[in-house]
Amino acid sequence: MGPLDWNKLTAGQKDLLRGLVRSIRNDEMPEEFTVMWGVEGTFVFWPGLNAFRKTQGITAARLDALQDAQLLRCNPKVETTQNQFGSSQREMARDIALTALAYKAVDTDFDAPDVTYVQLLTPLANLYTMDPELVSRCFPILGAGPGDPKMWDSAVRTAGVILEDRLRRLGGIEDGSIGQEQSSECVLRNEARGLPSLCLVISQSS
């Protein structure tokens, strides 16, 4: 897992990192610390702390996931015990250090896509009622959002071309009609065949 896979992190893993970043920024703990697991629970410790601090939510699995996503660096402390059947190992503690990507991930909400474009595409309140091909072909390119006007303009133009192509195929249109004329012809043909109308409104700001 890497930065491009941050969306694969679970809510608990994201919340853990958010909490760590918040505590560090509030000067409640340093960027490097140690997590310890024992029979009485989970504790954190760092140089200068007078006593172990009990905590919740820090599990080995969550730390593993954050490390795989390059958000943490971890150094496990393993205890080896011997018995008549051989030896066994158990992780007792782990040294943790946040990476620069940890702060970027939290500040960008784990690189969540900009979905403000959905508000510009009215009346698309429920994407599940839309033509699935348009959803799969148009929405990924519109996902950049309107933050970059040039990219947004290019994405909208490309989506318009895809829409025209889809309308031609749905309506069986072979002439050179475009725009509103093409849309009206497609709707009329579909309604004549008893099919639901396909409506997609793309708004562009000047």
Task: State whether 13 and 99 are in the same domain.
Answer: yes
Task: State whether 57 and 125 are in the same domain.
Answer: no
Instruction: With respect to residue 131, please indicate whether it lies within any of the assigned structural domains.
Output: yes
Instruction: With respect to residue 205, please indicate whether it lies within any of the assigned structural domains.
Output: no
pLDDT, tens only, 115-144: 555 555 554 555 566 677 777 777 777 766
Task: State whether 188 and 170 are in the same domain.
Answer: yes
Instruction: With respect to residue 204, please indicate whether it lies within any of the assigned structural domains.
Output: no
Look at the chain and report how many structural domains it folds into. Answer: 2
Task: State whether 25 and 76 are in the same domain.
Answer: yes
Instruction: With respect to residue 78, please indicate whether it lies within any of the assigned structural domains.
Output: yes
| 157-181 CB burial, b ≥16 within 10 A, e <16 | eebbebbbebbbebbebeeebeeee
Sequence-separated (6 or more) residues with CB below 8 Å from residue 131: 166, 170, 198, 200
Task: State whether 127 and 151 are in the same domain.
Answer: yes
How far is it between the farthest Cα atoms of the chain? 85
Instruction: With respect to residue 64, please indicate whether it lies within any of the assigned structural domains.
Output: yes
Mark which of 44, 73, 107 sits at the end of a domain: 107
Mark which of 81, 107, 133 sits at the end of a domain: 107
Instruction: Determine the pLDDT at residue 206.
Output: 33
pLDDT, tens only, 70-103: 999 999 988 777 777 777 777 889 999 999 999 9
Mark which of 107, 129, 158 sits at the end of a domain: 107
CATH number of the domain bearing residue 57:
1.10.10
Domain extent at residue 133: 117-192
pLDDT, tens only, 146-185: 667 777 788 888 887 887 787 777 766 666 555 555 455 5
Task: State whether 91 and 125 are in the same domain.
Answer: no
Instruction: With respect to residue 201, please indicate whether it lies within any of the assigned structural domains.
Output: no
